[in-house]
Structure 1
Amino acid sequence: MKLNIDYTQRVVIDTTAMDWTPSPLAGVDRKPLDRDGFEVARATSLVRYAPGSRFAAHTHGGGEEFYVLEGVFEDEHAAYPAGTYVRNPVGSRHVPRSTSGCTILVKLWQFEDGDSAQFAIDTSKAEWKSGRVPCQQEILLHQFGSEVVKLIDFAPGCASLFHSHGGGEEVLVLQGTLSDEFGDYPAGTWYRVPPGSSHTPFSRNGCRIWFKSGHLPPRTKLPVVA
């Protein structure tokens, strides 16, 4: 499967208008945002676990990064409530499940070589710090090489500075509406813009976004299967 894999193109998706599609495991559904491959794939997806659903034990050959949007995600290591950001590097192994159900944003096979940190951050307990401008606050979730992952809050009426993203930018709008000179992006919007893109983001009524930059084009290749 090849979906939105031309990283030179701007992609904007209203995920709230998408239908859920079943995964091979009963009770686990997906909304694919980009994907290069089949069940072993470089992929970005929303994944929904029904109460009581689980996957079999598996190893992440290309690493896994996810953010819990709703409910509680679980594995044998911990329970991760909504607002938790998790990185499971290349070679990590677990048995994912959810007792009460959950929805996550998950990225697979997108780790840079040498990025081996494994951790979880409960952002409900993390400290917000000043952002690019005084009306922004942010939580740094991860940084390695040129890659940066953050939560960013825009206060009502906040406008950031005009800037470029040399390594591309990817955003999921969690609350409110983010805007720039190209349009408005209400909660549930996922977008990805190519390296070199420029804009001036702002929010009329305030918003919160999951933000990632500096990670395009992809550096990780899938294994060749004969």
Structure 2
Amino acid sequence: MNINADFDKRASAHAADTPWVASPMAGVDRRMLDRIGGEVARATTIVRFAPGSAFSPHVHTGGEEFLVLEGVFQDEHGDFPVGSYIRNPPQSSHTPASAPGCTIFVKLWQFDLADRTHVRTETTDGAYTQTAKGVETLPLFHDDHEDVVMERWAPGAQVTLDAPDGLEVLVLDGDFNEGGETFAPQSWLRLPQDACSTAQAGPDGAKVWIKRGHLKTTPSAPKV
């Protein structure tokens, strides 16, 4: 399965226009944003757990990164409310579930396979710092492979999206316009290497999750 699999091109997806697709587990549905592969895939996805749903125990051979957008995600390691940012490195395992239901943004098979760093950050408690005019930034993760942050853009702010090694943006609150498209909550934008664009925040500003630098090499399907 290939979805937005040409990483040399700009790609976008909007929640209102992206259908839910059933997963192999009852009560767990997905909006596929980009994907290379079948059920084992290099994938960027919004996943919705119905109340009381669960996945069977599994190992994340290629690592898993997720951000809780709605509700409470749960596994044997704890409860993860809205704003929780988690990195489960390659070879980690868990049993995902949600008693109250939840929606999460997930990226699979996108880690350095030697990475063994676990990250759990409650972003609602984070301290933002101003990094540019109209932009406040909360660092989430940084290594030689990628840089992950959350940003708050002031109402009407003009924000440069410079992507020498690729860039992805997910809208959490508010909205922005880029390339003639309006990106509302749970809208997603990916820019390829060497792209540069400008986003303008809407009248209420925008809160976004951003990953940079992770598309230095062309992604491929997992080798399993």
Fold-level match, TM-score > 0.5? Answer: yes
Specify the alignment match of 1:128 in structure 2.
Answer: 128
Distance 1:219-1:20 versus aligned 2 partners, 3 A rule: closer
> Structure 2: which 5+ residue stretches go unaligned?
none
Q: How does 1:1-226 map to 2 (within 5 A)?
A: 1-131=1-131, 133-160=132-159, 162=160, 164-180=162-178, 182-205=180-203, 206-216=205-215, 217-218=217-218, 222-224=222-224
Could you tell me how far apart the structure 2 residues matched to 1:64 and 1:12 are? 21
Could you tell me how far apart the structure 2 residues matched to 1:123 and 1:33 are? 23
Distance 1:181-1:31 versus aligned 2 partners, 3 A rule: closer
The alignment-based identity, stated in percent, is 41
Do the aligned partners of 1:168 and 1:195 also contact (CA within 8 Å) in 2?
Answer: yes
User: SS where residue 124 of structure 2 aligns?
Assistant: helix
User: SS where residue 56 of structure 2 aligns?
Assistant: coil
Could you tell me how far apart the structure 1 residues matched to 2:137 and 2:176 are? 15
Residues 93-147 of structure 1 show CA distances to partners (whole Å, capped at 9, x for unaligned) of 111100100000000000024332102111111111122x132111111111141
Higher strand share: 2
Distance 1:146-1:202 versus aligned 2 partners, 3 A rule: farther
CA shift, 1:219, in A, is 5.8
Distance 1:116-1:193 versus aligned 2 partners, 3 A rule: same
Q: Residue type of the partner of 2:209?
A: W
Could you tell me how far apart the structure 2 residues matched to 1:118 and 1:220 are? 24
After TM superposition, the score normalised by the length of structure 1 is 0.92
CA shift, 1:153, in A, is 0.4
Do the aligned partners of 2:178 and 2:200 also contact (CA within 8 Å) in 1?
Answer: yes
CA shift, 1:181, in A, is 5.0
After TM superposition, the score normalised by the length of structure 2 is 0.93
User: SS where residue 16 of structure 2 aligns?
Assistant: helix
Distance 1:183-1:30 versus aligned 2 partners, 3 A rule: closer
Could you tell me how far apart the structure 2 residues matched to 1:25 and 1:51 are? 13
Q: Residue type of the partner of 2:188?
A: W
> Structure 1: which 5+ residue stretches go unaligned?
none
Could you tell me how far apart the structure 2 residues matched to 1:190 and 1:180 are? 11
Q: Residue type of the partner of 1:186?
A: A
Residues 190-217 of structure 1 show CA distances to partners (whole Å, capped at 9, x for unaligned) of 1111000001222132011111111113
RMSD: 1.6
Could you tell me how far apart the structure 1 residues matched to 2:60 and 2:193 are? 27
